[in-house]
Amino acid sequence: MRYIRPLVQTDPARPEGALTLAGGWCWFDRVEVLRREAAPELLPASALQEDELARLTAPRFPVAGLTMDVPRIMAILNVTPDSFSDGGQHEGRELANALALAEVADILDIGGESTRPGAVEVSVIEELSRVVPVVEALRAKGCATPISLDTRKAEVARAGLAAGADMVNDVSAMLFDPAIAGATADAGAPICLMHAQGSPETMQDDPRYTDVLLDVYDHLAERVAAAEAAGIARERVVVDPGIGFGKTMTHNLALLSRLSLFHALGCPVLLGVSRKGFIGKLAGEEVAAERMPGSLALAVLAAGQGVQLLRVHDARETRQGLRLAAAQWGM
């Protein structure tokens, strides 16, 4: 099997014949062909097979009503006491903080269960009590910003979607609770499928891969196929390589350096790196809340690789950074 990674560009000097990536703001005219047990090979895009080209160039369908022709900001709202960066900070202020985020973000991602390394599972009842009231209150206030549910559980997904949420963001890619596929399909909602090795309790103990880039790609390809089998059309699937979920710093950097490979799945790509531990290690910043500059740098770099959805804590700062980058890209 060969894996096709477009060498993505945003340079204004676009050569004749270059192809638009996923109907968005980037282009490519060459690809890197990857194989297991073989050296990478560079080819002109014109050498690709028709189906390979189609996966890379077909415009992505809107996600939760958002077109995928510009980078979109997904603002994190953790209504939990123990999330690694902002746990407990929203207690008693969930609605006010959510409304403020909705003014600058394209979509809100509301989660009631921490999945940080070492986190323990939260009961369905507890997670429901944290998430659903916030969704209901936002809609009661007239907030029209799309809402994503950061959950692994079918009951939470079903109740949250019924309360007015638009999307499911499952860090287990429907493996923790397979019934979440049916809940999502029944609602006609999009779902984000993330790669994770192991559970939050143990995922950072000793993660290992044969080839992290290709292993993560294959896993996501399998989970996209599982979503389709469950009645969720590929056009409603988003993929996330799961930076920091069962991965060492070396694994994270390998994924980020060839991030554009995941466009070959034919789905919008989401990246969540905001304030994560490897940023702190590289930048020498132990306090998670002080890692905004590094998080912003990676968000802009990811957008330059055509990533459509950026899951961030610092929505306002990310918006400013993307505006500056977009001006250079002619957007």
Q: Write down the residue that tokens 């979503």 correspond to.
A: 227
- Taking CA atoms, 228 is separated from 31, 182, 281, in Å, by 27, 11, 38
- Is 141 a known active-site residue? no
Count of CB atoms within 10 A of residue 64's CB?
20
Residue type, 297: A
- Two tokens at 13? 């000097």
- Given 72, 236, 276, 291, which residue is catalytic? 276
- Is 130 a known active-site residue? no
CB 214 within 8 A of CB 255: no
DSSP 156-191: HHHHHHHHT--EEEETTTTSS-THHHHHHHHHT--E
- Given 116, 223, 258, 311, which residue is catalytic? 311
CB 156 within 8 A of CB 124: yes
Query: What residues contact residue 16 under an 8 Å CB cut-off, 6+ apart?
Result: none
- Two tokens at 136? 């209901």
- Spatial CA neighbour of 169 closest among 242, 109, 86: 109
- Two tokens at 211? 């080839």
Say how far apart CA 40 and CA 34 lie, in whole Å.
Answer: 5
Q: Which residues are catalytic?
A: 276, 311
